[in-house]
Structure 1
Amino acid sequence: MADGMARALWERYEPVHDLVYFAPEAHRAADALGMRGFWMGYFALRAAPLGPVAPSVVTGCFHVFHPARVARALPDAWGHAAPAEVLAARAEAMDAAMTRLFGQDVTGSAEFAEAADLAWEAAAAADTAGRVLAAANQALRRPDRPAARLWQALTTLREHRGDGHVAVLVSQGIGPVEAMVLKAAAGESDGPFLRETRKWDPVDWAAAGARLREHGLLASDGTLTPAGTALRAEVEALTDAAAERPWTALGTDRAGRLAGLLEPLARTVEGSGLLPAGNPVGLTRGAQPVGG
């Protein structure tokens, strides 16, 4: 959609989706399942829709993590809880987190239920050919409770966009570490935070930077060159284009309505202090009015 709806919606649903990583309810759910530490919980909660797959599958799907980071969590996590148990705990935790954060008056309102239903309709319309994480999430049953339903729909849409983004990176020959170096150079994320949390060695990071400089994409001071800026813009534009189908199916008016319903929720999450400094997903500003 030429009106930028795909990006406008992403800016609103990404913070709500991110509750699964940072809300205390998610951490308690992972602990109760027997997960050992943040990263085992992270990989189990996010990868559960795929089933008890090998770490190499998750490494491929998630794209930017060092294989060793994934292998420390999987498949051991499935020995503590089966994916179906993890999914049930995930839904309960997100329902509880959203109810606490937004308040029962909000999650019990007609507007919140409307947002959940609009998001579910958009997620159901998402094109999942070649998009493994999106397809796995789209196949999950529709939750009865609006909060759980909204979160799951937004997660399907988020993974749909993410799968498309990975496809764009692959098509441009941008590897996992190069992708993060470019993101940091563009000012969208903190480089050391990305490197450390994704468990890449400083040598790997330096080598990626050297390759980008060799191709004229990165300046000696670590900033993007004009060519790097153009490539980064193209990647984002192609990612937006690949994420259009759900919003085209929903239609401009109803997609705009959903964006408006999600904006105060995104603002609440952004103001909660739950999201860490370093911004690994690359959101560089709060949600803006559609068309603004």
Structure 2
Amino acid sequence: MDDIWQSLECVHAPVYFAPETVPVYSAAGSGLKGFWMGYFASRAAALGAVAPEVVTAAFYNFAPARVARSIPDAWDRCTPEDVLAARLDVADQALRRLLGELVEGPEVAEAAELGRRAVEALPVAGRVLFAAHAALPVPEHPHLGLWWAATALREFRGDGHVAALVAAGVDGCEANVITVALGLAPTEQRLNRGWSEDEWQDAEERLRERGVLAEDGTLTDAGRLERAAIEATTDRLARPVLGDARLAECLRPLARRIVGAGGVPFPNAMGLPPLRPE
């Protein structure tokens, strides 16, 4: 993974880990219930009040049963518009706390402008989550404009990653098993993503039959090659953004400040690796 994507994820991801999430979403509309309803509703709200099947398809690596416990009930409690406003509030509070004085700095303003240009220049065809988030209004404040851009750009890469997984014949549960086998996601990833023990074991067995997973639960050499090929395809599909050296330069100190302030834990359910040493 190119470090620009690690940086973009670090700018975007505090909305999932910040202590502000649950209280803000609980106060939205008639109250979203618990972390997961807030997560699914806030990330899917750009698509509108969609059915759980749509969320499962777009997010890809969550068990359908986990999604169905939150969607569509969330839309009876809070409109997508109100959820989006609440999510922006979470981003505002979290980034102000994590970035400190940098939140008003020139790196944030420049990265926000570069990010906006990148979003506007990218094609939307085949990138459903990206298209939905890119169509949202750009927030006025630079740190929120940067968060908007980081969100759209990470979903651009994510849409491509889903396409690469589908093309490789790796389903959502199998993708989680592989990430855990690599040590990039915590061992509780099965519970985190809502898969049952039987579903997880079936996925492990399918991966063993295909020569991807060894009996001890680690990836085989063939499995590592397959995973590397999926990541390479993902990065190739995201190449229009990967080449922006100045955006990467502006993002790097911001990502390091966010991580240093505890904004993103490692390992994490996203499978995001730690930032490289300076």
Q: Which residue of 2 aligns with 1:280?
A: 269
When the two chains are superposed, the root-mean-square deviation of aligned CA atoms in Å is 1.5
1:60 paired residue number: 57
2:21 to 20, 26, 49: 26
* 1:216 CA drift (Å): 1.0
Match of 1:93 among 90, 104, 124: 90
Q: State whether structure 2 residue 104 is matched by structure 1 residue 115.
A: no
The residue aligned with 2:193 is 198
**Displacement of 1:122:** 1.0
Q: What SS does the corresponding residue of 1:231 show, helix, strand or coil?
A: helix
Residue of structure 2 equivalent to 1:83: 80
- Deviation, structure 1 residue 277: 5.0
Q: Identify which of 256, 262, 267 aligns with 2:256.
A: 267
CA distance in 1, matches of 2:276, 2:35: 28
Consecutive unaligned residues of structure 2, counting only runs of 5 or more, are: none
1:1-292 maps to which residues of 2 (within 5 A)? 7-33=2-28, 34-103=31-100, 105-190=101-186, 192-247=187-242, 252=243, 255-287=244-276
**AA of the residue aligned to 2:248:** A
Q: Output the CA distance in 2 between the equivalents of 1:287 and 1:90.
A: 29
Cα shift readout 1:232-275 (whole Å, capped 9, x = no counterpart): 1000000100111234xxxx4xx222212211221122223343
CA–CA distance in structure 2, aligned partners of residues 14 and 214 of structure 1? 33
Aligned residue for 2:2, secondary structure, equals helix
* Seq. identity, %: 49
Deviation at 1:182, TM superposition (A): 1.2
Relative to the length of structure 1, the TM-score reads: 0.90
Could you tell which deviates more after superposition, 79-88 or 156-165? 79-88
2:275 aligned counterpart, secondary structure: coil
Shift of 1:276: 4.0
Distance of 1:27 and 1:144 partners within structure 2: 25
User: Which consecutive unaligned segments of at least 5 residues does structure 1 have?
Assistant: 1-5
Query: By how many angstroms is 1:164 displaced?
Result: 0.5
CA drift at 1:109 = 2.1
After the TM superposition, which of the residue ranges 128-137 and 256-265 deviates more from structure 2? Answer: 256-265
The answer to whether the Cα contact below 8 Å between 1:128 and 1:134 also exists between their aligned partners in 2 is yes
How many angstroms does 1:185 deviate by?
Answer: 1.4
Task: Give the conservation status (yes or no) of the 8 Å contact 1:94–1:151.
Answer: yes
